[in-house]
Amino acid sequence: MEKKKPGFTLIEMIIALALIVTILGIAGSMLITGNKVFSDSDIRSTLQIEGQVIQEKISDAGMQAFSIESCKHGSLEIKDQKYNSNVILSKLVNINGELSEDGQWIDVSQISFKSSRNNSEYDGSTDTITNTETIPISYDKDLKKLSISSEIISEKVESIRIHPENINDENSNIDEANSIEFHIVLSKARAFSNVRYPIDFTIKFRNKGTT
């Protein structure tokens, strides 16, 4: 009588295949998770460096300024609008960008500071600065691009919001603020990663009122 040749039964092959698929799935999941953690860390480090540059440059521009030249929401100039005006009330959001009745933040596309140049002098007869410059900080939401004057600082900006220190004074406006808090969110997506990195800082206008 002829002996049966050794081999695998159909059930054994199905079980083996299921085990292989499970092992490969676990290994693939671990690999993806590891890559995501590494990618997130790398992106966060990049955004942190850009955030420090943004904070330093905006802070320097603000601390040298003696007035706010312009402040825009989209294409709308809002610098001189009273906080209790419908124009401002309709733009107030919370820190996450959601319209809110108790919101105290405003999304801006541009804010410009007027400051003195390094070689400026004071005119003794009028007590004014004789050599000034305007420093525009511009944000293009579609391109996620932030520029200061003509220099591109970042192309990873998701949003820019400001909180003027006098916003609770409903008869006041942005132009009269002595300091402004910034909330800027940077973001970058790559492969399985999508990292958001917020920057929060306040600038005080040390030279405001010297003109």
**What pTM did the predictor assign?**
0.78
Strand partners, 65: 115
* pLDDT at residue number 121: 45
Q: Is the model's pLDDT at 4 over the cut of 60?
A: no
Contacts of 93 (CB under 8 A, 6+ apart): 99, 100, 103, 105, 106, 107, 161
What are residue 161's phi and psi, to 5 degrees? -125, 145
DSSP 8-class letter at 99:
B
- Using DSSP's 3-state secondary structure scheme, residue 88 falls into helix
Q: Is the model's pLDDT at 124 over the cut of 60?
A: no
Q: Is the model's pLDDT at 143 over the cut of 60?
A: yes
pLDDT above 70 covers what percent of the chain?
85
Output the average pLDDT for the chain: 85
Task: Answer with the residue of higher pLDDT: 127 or 185.
Answer: 185
pLDDT average, residue stretch 101-108: 91
For residues 184 and 109, give the distance between their C-alpha atoms in angstroms, rounded to a whole number.
12
